[in-house]
Structure 1
């Protein structure tokens, strides 16, 4: 199973051009992916740089024939421009068992720029792996109070899923919404976490080994390639790595590769790809 994860900056490149087409092409250039996880996907935000007034989830669906597209709006609001949505997207060509959208904590942090955040979860049947929960998220950038709360919530969410898999509800085949679900401890958590490996939020997500860093599994103590501020230093003086892929312990032996495109400039982040065999 190949996954690409990418913060697209509403599909806006460093040249100021908004283009879902370039994002899909850039993801395809990284390999024949089975799952595409995108953060910062917009619908009807005409005042964003480059004009993000188009329905990007719908357009990405058109660009990926054979894939099913699931969009989770962390922000869903109405203004003088009408209905607007902003959030995360998962597209997959694998069989889908279930889809869930989880709002993340949004504690008050007065006077600090922020927006609501969420995690989209799509459980797929992966060849040779069985059911796998693919989880993608984008944590708060400006508020560390919110980011830490969200980091802790992600770990708690994964642990709760694992507890359900270990002690599932009563089986049912009655055709109702109570019918048996694909409970699984196998998970991939990816996205833009807006923290670095040395920060407390990273420790909060990985506490107790419930989730393991795919880069460290493959490369030990080797320096991690940057995923943000590589070409654009608007948000800081040096490139950093804040886009991660985490896996559950049962999937750790199945991680075969992880790569970063260090050349593309069609977003302010670099895309990351991971392969599990």
Structure 2
């Protein structure tokens, strides 16, 4: 399985031009991906720099025939101030997406904690989870994007991601049967094995990063796939490599792919692409045997 994770900044390049089709072409050039995990996909946010299209989730579906495109919205806001508000008017939405050509079973959208922090601008954040693959070999893929400005909120969100992993492991160990018929009471079993990727807005080696790797009661812990395959090495930067205006303090490594410990032996490749300038972030390609 090949997975690509990327904060695409609504298809905006380091030079400032928005072109989501170019973003998808770049992703295809990097990997013949089975799963594409994207952060910063928008709907109704034409006022953002570069003027993204009206519905980028629909754009992705059109650009990726044969893939299932799943969305999760974090920030969900009314029309821009001053715009006429009418029944059915398009809201402004900002979130994550998973596109996959593999079978998709359950999908979960987890609203992450947002504790008050009056000193920092912030928005609601979300983690999108999909159970992907054949039932005999399925795993969970989660994509997220943590708060940028608030350390307090990032740490709370890391704690919740760890809690969600613990919850999934408990479901895997003690699944409940589903209700008869075809109603919504599906069996609760879901795999403990997981890939958790995205923009964590937490530098490599930071408190939030290290907390992500701590043991989890009743579940395999997370490991950083890149460092597992490059022991002793420092990962290259994943943000601010080419966009030096937004990242005026210099590039950092804040995008990661974590896998549960039981998947360590299946890691084949994990690379951070340092060449593309199609976003202010660099993509990460993961390959599992």
Which TM-score applies when normalising by structure 1? 0.95
Indicate the residue corresponding to 2:107 in structure 1: 99
* Structure 1 segment 44-83 matched on structure 2, within 5 A: 44-80=44-80, 81=83, 82-83=90-91
The answer as to 2:168 corresponding to 1:168 is no
| 1:44/1:54 contact within 8 Å kept | yes
Shift of 1:161: 0.6
Equivalent position to 1:195, from 202, 222, 226: 202
2:125 is aligned with 1:117: yes
**RMSD (Å) for aligned C-alpha atoms:** 1.6
Deviating 4+ runs (over 4 angstroms):
none
Whole-angstrom CA distance in 1 between matches of 2:248 and 2:163: 31
Distance in structure 2 (CA, Å) of the matches to 1:206 and 1:243: 14
After superposition, the C-alpha distances for 1:49-106 in whole angstroms (9 at most, x for unaligned) are 0002421010011000000000101011212454111000000000001111000000
User: Which deviations, in whole Å up to 9, do the C-alpha atoms of 1:247-269 show, x marking residues without a partner?
Assistant: 01111100100112211111100
Matched positions, count: 276
Which residue of structure 2 lines up, in the alignment, with residue 138 of structure 1? Answer: 145
Q: Residues of 2 paired with 1:92 and 1:161: CA distance?
A: 21
The answer to whether 1:268 aligns with 2:268 is: no
Unpaired segments ≥5 residues, structure 1 = none
Which residue, out of 185, 189, 193, partners 2:192?
185
Q: Does 1:240 align with 2:252?
A: yes
Q: Distance in 1 between matches of 2:191 and 2:139?
A: 7
Cα distance in 2 for partners of 1:83, 1:54 equals 10
Please tell me whether the aligned partners of residues 168 and 192 of structure 2 are also in contact (alpha carbons under 8 angstroms): yes
- Unmatched segments (≥5 aa) in structure 2: 84-89
Matched, 1:217 2:228: yes
Distance 2:153 2:186 in 1: 36
2:87 is equivalent to residue 89 of structure 1:
no
Q: Give the structure with the higher percent strand.
A: 1
Q: Which string of whole-angstrom CA distances, capped at 9 and with x for unpartnered residues, describes residues 213-255 of structure 1?
A: 1012111111212111111222343321111000011111001
